Structure 1
Amino acid sequence: MCCKTNHRFLLLYASQKGQAKAIAEEIYHQAKDSGLEADLHCISESDKYNLNSEKDPVVIVTSTTGTGEPPDTAVKFVKEINDKSLPSDHLSHLRYGLLGLGDSEYTFFCNGGKIIDKRFQELGAQRFYEVGLADDAVGLELVVDPWIAGLWPALHQEFASRKKERNHTEEPPSLCADAVCNSCINSRVERLKLEVLGVNNDLLAKAVTKSELPLQGSQPSLFHSVPPLSQLALNVPALPPEYLEVHFQESSEQDPSLCCVSESSIFQVPVIKAVQLTRDDAIKRTLLLELDISKTTFSYQPGDAFNVICPNYTSEVEELLHILGLSEKKDYFVCLKVKAGTKKRGRFYAFTMILHVILPLRREEKTHFVCTSWISYLMSVAKQKQK
């Protein structure tokens, strides 16, 4: 192929539970479709890359753990760049983009990414792309997906700028090679125009045929939308590939109870007070709940954490099972397993993007009724959850 160029960039990830790694792998696969080559490494694999001599753009995806610390895999990396003996221009040759993952329910939101970004700036590194901070409390994909989509034009612009700078410093003979390359490209563009023209003619014929079909009326359907929905700009994520196998097994238990939901003891206690702490127009509503635990027998001390298990309304559970065609199998066990050959074992999608099921640890089987009653938050906004 004429003037074929591999635009390489270094892609590093610092992951605690696999979220950052899964996102970095997604970037790695999308890079090929964008005509780019990602050199993917865990940030702890310092023997496979060297930022001190790195000439290509660097993209970093990092999560946050603990009380705002970088992941364990990035501890050594952060320690090295925090060396006080490093000069202020130590990384002045570096151009980078950074995506931080965090949870705004914690005090130090995305602090792992902020630590690296701040130190890079102090060492003279420059951003070629804006920093992205994704919030797991509202859905990582709300920031991750647009950030990845914007990464490709930012990288292409970065490579174009570098090429322009090289052209100013190269000798005149290089212009001849550029002319040959441009001639080859122009020839290919002309052929593409002819091909596209043929495709457009086919599409036009299909469009005319479709316009002759009778109108479907004003009732909304999968093929026909009505205001106000049709007037909204919707950002619907693409259907993800299948990662799970779902098997149904008839249950011998007549009445699945809460013992299926938690390994530890469960106490039923009343809510004696509920106060809304946020304003009505707040993005996230925060409530102060007081529980009466005077009649419980468990012991606790300051710093301990406990879980609150609340069921969905039975009517909503029954309606959802009916919509999914699972009413007759509501007491069947559901067994979810990762499909063989799955590349991203850290990413799980349960059933659909509408029904988001998180299974408790050490439990692989639950009935449909238990899943929809006690494990799924049916009224939450659908989001891609990574573990």
Structure 2
Amino acid sequence: MTAEEAVAPPPTMPAEATRKAASLSVLYASQTGNAEWVAKHIHEEALVRGIKSACHVLDDHAKADLSGNNAIVLVASTTGDGDPPDNATKFWRWLRRAKGADLEAFKGKPYAVLGLGDTNYSNFCNTAKRLDRRMNDLGSIPFTKSGFADDATGLEAVIDPWLKKLWADLLTVVEYDEAKEKAFRENAGNAESKLDMGKFGVAKKDDAAKKTGAKTTSATPVDNASIAAVTAETQALSLSDQDRSSVANQFTSPADSSAHDPTPIVVSPAGLQAVTTLTGVAKLPTKYLEVERMPDAERPIAHSRTNYFKLSAGHESAFEFTAQSPYLAHISRVRCLTGAVALKRVLEIELDISGLGWNYTPGDAFAVVCPNPDELVLPIISRLGLDATALYKAGTAGASASQGYPFSMDEPVSAYEMFRYHIDLHAFPKKSFLRMLAEHATDTSEKKTLLYLASTQGAADYRGLKAQQPSLLDLLVSFPTCSPPLARLLESLPHLQPRYYSVSSSPLGERETGTVRFAFNVVEYATPAPYHKPVAGLCSTWLDKLTGTCTDRKWQDVSDTALTVPLFPKPRPESSHPFELPSDPSAPIVMIAAGTGISPFLSFLDHRARQLKQTPPPPSAAFASSWLVHGCRFPGADGDALYDTEISAYLADGALGHLTRCHSRVEAPPLPADAGVSYKYVQHALAAESVRVAELLADARARFYVCGSVAMAREVNGALAAILVSQGICADNVAAIARLSEMQAEGRYLRDLWT
């Protein structure tokens, strides 16, 4: 998809809509922080350009005064399988129920839409497209083309040209201060987008290598001594905290830091040395924050670890808890679900949520608010020359009423707290961020490399950074003369986002009263060759260390340790078809999962097993038409066939009617010659039982559930489409895909996916 193809042309503005709007309202719906970052920077640039602007999350739409004389810019991502982000669910509910004057206010209102999505998912940019359609239906007028950016190919390929066109078109529909706009253009002109690299006087690559002894393929000459110095300073800072040894709580990090050791990035020397002129260099981020260190004020690291998240009181609903104000759930038990042969460890944790007031149902999910590891936080603070315990206050420059704070400004925040709890230190660097780093690098070679990566000529190397997965520390070590001010970092880096987990338990039963369970992989891997950088999952590693790196298959009681996990319930999506059991217990269900995708289905089955023990129980044959298809690598107690004991019990007591296991690392039993498949993956099992699958696809009462990775779901979707064709239900693949889409719209085909 090209940038042009990703943008839909607007109709011509009618004559009655030519009166300029008095202000701009920027509204966003964001799940991972990308849409929020874009929206807030549009808002900040608007203020600098002399436009009266306000920025709000969609759920706070009432604060935006949509009935006023304003233009609207909507920036929206999509989560799950086409659902709106959690912070847009109230908006959709309001919009669906709105009447009269509320809807009339949209008529003739100028608007623009930018969608952020991923074509790996079937409902690409669904939230933004729904917004676009609804605004059109209400009579609003798009003043610029709608843009739909694809994370699979790089969001900036669409976002950057869309923003350029946005500003040209926005100034024709909204009032602005001409003097401020002129000053902005002059400043932007000074920050050139076309640069002659000769002015940097860069030494030849051989000379640079001789000077430092570094490999010429590194981003900049960085020797091992520099990296060692950062690590040594970090250890000294960490160990100098007199309270560290006495802290035994969830925020203490392990000593092993191999996954966080600084790794200089690699840039192609051929591409870099061949460049004489750079074009399309990314714009500098708008400056809007002022950060001030408070004199003689500090907060010890140990205090921050133990007291930063405090149990919130006065919440009338479980859904009032948020990432900024989470509920502290005590850990009750932990166990390992995998054996010695498994390539990954899977843990299950039970949490005490008796004070949360959350009446969860099977299929629900919640978010864990996890911190960055000290092994990354402390070296960054040291590298930037900051005092970890110093307290800071931040405000907006000039008259800006910014909504772009990276953290709550109700009270001062320490440098440690900023980097530990608020900033995403693993976020893939935007080109504008690299441009900002270039402004604060004193070495000409480093400056050239950063500008090259932020330019059109460096596009291939910029894309190559994806495979390297550089952290903020990696970038700072790669460019040792770069020392960006704290305010510029806070403006440029996205917020640290919570991690979502599906419930694996039922709220029924004595043990489950006031508790919830969830399962997860302990994520560990290395980046591809030639980098081989070790990577540890942020939240899964933290939870693993928090619970003592459990390897025991039996439940371990840790309730006496006072360990807590900050969390908040995930709001139900604004959909009439949530990921939950059908109300009719006799309706056939097919549950398809790989790995930990089985978690919500365990909550389904656990719930049904407990229903069978209730008085009066459902009919004995009520759940006979339930079918679980689960994929793993290795069978047995030593493998990763999760919940074997529980599933056997569900089969025995009738909570589950049929089970199909698939093992990708084990040769499957031979099948009839005409079957043409093996039970290696879940899609193979579906194809092998195509007649039965077809009968269920044709049954209007049956529901299909898929939970797992996007890649797995794509294969399952293809297998189901092929079955629809081979069994004569659909004429061809196009018709089969359309049929599956209809099933999704009807709530008969539900998917809970992740990348």
Which bin holds the TM-score, normalised by the shorter protein? 0.3 to 0.5
Q: TM (normalized to structure 1)?
A: 0.48
Q: TM (normalized to structure 2)?
A: 0.27
